[in-house]
Amino acid sequence: MKLRLIFLLTIMLFSLSTAHGAEQKETHFPSLISSLRLSIPLTFCGEKVPIEIQNIRERLEKELLLTLWDRPQVILWLKRSSRYLPIIEKMLEENKIPEDLKYVTKGGNHILIPKGSAKGFHRRYQNLLKDWVASKKEFVYIVKQGDNLSFIAERFNVPLAALIIWNKLDLKAHIHPGDRLIIYSKEVKNENAD
């Protein structure tokens, strides 16, 4: 009973008191329209943009508004620009391409800067192997009990990646005794006779 009375008194005291916090200031973002002050004349790649034509001006303003509307992406672009624009500018200068194109991306997409491509590496490596294979002889090796790809590659002094590519092997799959592997080597030994 006493516990219930204390609980009710506590609730009444808290409900009677008022909390005064600091007034929150209203966050003000600048108007997007104010960011679209188009100066005349406007040029792109050395050519005058005819913004006096209403249709062209409206389409340009629409694209700029859509771009500016994505505020987080604009902030990321601004942060990344100091890192990537100097590289892009250098490439444009070397190829004698107008500097205005450093800002152009495929419409609606964000800029992606790939660090590399597995397919590109695979293609370059295959070309390298074709040259290497041209000086070698091809033979078929039959996998034996206890063999693995690393052991086979080392045994015939060939790159493991080459062995995988020549035989179009899946890295997740296993090789089994009796499987046939194509191997290119200068010295063709009758290894299957052991």
- Structural domains in the chain, CATH included, are 33-103 (no CATH), 118-193 (3.10.350.10)
Query: Which secondary-structure segment (H or E) carries 95?
Result: none
- Specify the pLDDT at position 178: 92
Q: Which amino acid would we find at residue 188? A: V
- Residue 61 near residue 36, CB atoms below 8 Å: yes
**pLDDT digits over 105-162, tens only?**
544 445 444 455 455 655 666 666 566 556 667 788 999 998 888 888 888 888 788 7
Higher-scoring residue by pLDDT: 178, 4: 178
- Predicted TM-score (pTM) above 0.75: no
How far apart are the C-alpha atoms of 157 and 135, rounded to whole Å? 14
Q: List, in order, residues 6 or more apart from 122 with CB less than 8 Å away.
A: 165
How far apart are the C-alpha atoms of 102 and 87, rounded to whole Å? 10
